[in-house]
Copies of this chain bind each other. A is one copy, B any other.
Amino acid sequence: MCNAKKWYLRLKWPSHNKAVELTSLLMSAVFQDVHVMIFIGFGFLMTFLKRYGFSSVGVNLLLAAFGLQWGLLMQGLWHLEDGKIKVNILKIINADFSTATVLISFGAVLGKTSPVQLLIMTIMEITIFSINEHLVANVLEANDVGASMIIHAFGAYFGLAVARVLYRPGLKNGHDNDGSVYHSDLFAMIGTVFLWMFWPSFNSAIAEPGFTQLTAVINTYLSLAACVLSAYAISSLVEHRGKLDMVHIQNATLAGGVAVGTCADMNIGPFGAMLIGLVAGIVSTLGFKYLTPILASKLGIQDTCGVHNLHGMPGILGGLAGIVAVALGKKKGGDAAMQAAALASSLGFALVGGVVTGLIMKLPFWGQPPDQNCYDDSIYWEVPEEEEEHEESLAHADHSKNKAEV
């Protein structure tokens, strides 16, 4: 007769313990929401690129599937029980969380790396994430329930560091394929809206069940709602003739979810949550408009998706809000100095880890695409012919859309 308990940790599942069963049920629902954010949310958000949709969704799937297995291994080795790696719903949620860092960094270098380079980045980043996560959660014992610091800021600055190391002077003046078309912007909105809707689950996933978890859900919900308003307002204010920019609407409307992450389970109240969201929307939109071009031209950081504006700055904002909230006594047992240390740790590991990883990725063995083949699926995918009239147009006109054979 087989021993059913040998492989998986039951998350304390004696059938008389209803409180635990309720927790498990809720965690399963939360897991599913986080899973949708990782695979549909991130995957489709990056399909805005006119000729890189296959890679955006497809490589997202590859990195996340690979990353969650690596993440489970990492966590498992860290917490061996009887010399065995145990798997349960909480660990699966954490594995999805760890892949989020990779997908954020992927956004910074989107279109400019090969799948092999990204698989290496996955291994490195999840390992370094685990170290920082252990430090922040178990040593510093800082609060970061929605992971503004350990996932969003970490993933963004890690990716930006990699982007800096992999800087391409040849892309200084942009690239024809680095942009969207009408329907690719609509595909990206699928990602945006799914991320927006399920963020309350993301920020409450590891919160203490019960009232605290509910608090995280509602604070995130309100922060996101306020953020939408400021993102729309600023986008209209800064754009030519008051028009809205899809890049802002696809990304900056989510900044509130990132920025309230650290404080989500704290007693900041609806106005605190909405203030954080409002500020995040402003900062994010202004970042897309003014800062990203400066980062590229002055600092050599070419950030394809603008992750600095969605995950970087809002992540830091979340960390800072956490320091302030804890200092104001909004979290029982919190310590503002530990919050600050957690933020510093996350940024430190991200930057150093990103540079080291970037240097490894820069080795010439990994099939990095040349400049003219960036932002183009056709070097990694068999791409179907466009509609026949496109073929005729290619014959008629001089296009710089380059499908050079690799």
Contact = CB atoms under 8 A, between A and B. Distances in A.
A267 B4 contact: yes
Contact of A381 (B69, B222, B246): B246
Interface string A267-306: 1011000100000000000000000000000000000000
A61 B239 contact: no
B18 A22 contact: yes
A36 interface: yes
A15 B239 CA distance: 51
A8 interface: yes
B232 A62 contact: yes
Contacts of A189: 43, 57-58
Interface stretch (A156-164, A166-174, A193-201, A308-316): A193-201
A360 interface: no
Interface stretch (A138-146, A344-352, A396-404): A396-404
A211 B4 contact: yes
Query: Does more than half of chain A's interface fall in helix, strand or loop, or is it mixed?
Result: helix
B29 A329 contact: no
Interface stretch (A101-109, A129-137, A387-395): A387-395
A19 to B, nearest CB: 7
Copies of this chain, count: 3
A1 B54 contact: no
A221 interface: yes
Given A53-B182, A267-B6, A382 B240 contact: yes
Nearest to A383: B182
A260 interface: no
Contacts of A58: 189, 244, 246, 249
B269 A7 contact: yes
Interface of A: 1-8, 10-11, 13, 15, 18-19, 21-22, 24-26, 28-29, 32-33, 35-36, 39-40, 43-44, 47, 50-51, 53-54, 57-58, 61-62, 65-66, 68-69, 85, 87-89, 92, 115, 179-183, 185-187, 189-190, 192-194, 196-198, 201, 210-212, 214-215, 217-218, 221-222, 224-226, 228-229, 232, 239-241, 243-246, 249, 253, 267, 269-270, 274, 329-332, 379-390, 392-393, 396-397, 399, 401, 405-406
- Give the 9 A-B residue pairs with the shortest CB-CB distance, closest first: A389-B393, A65-B228, A7-B269, A65-B225, A57-B189, A2-B267, A53-B186, A244-B381, A180-B384
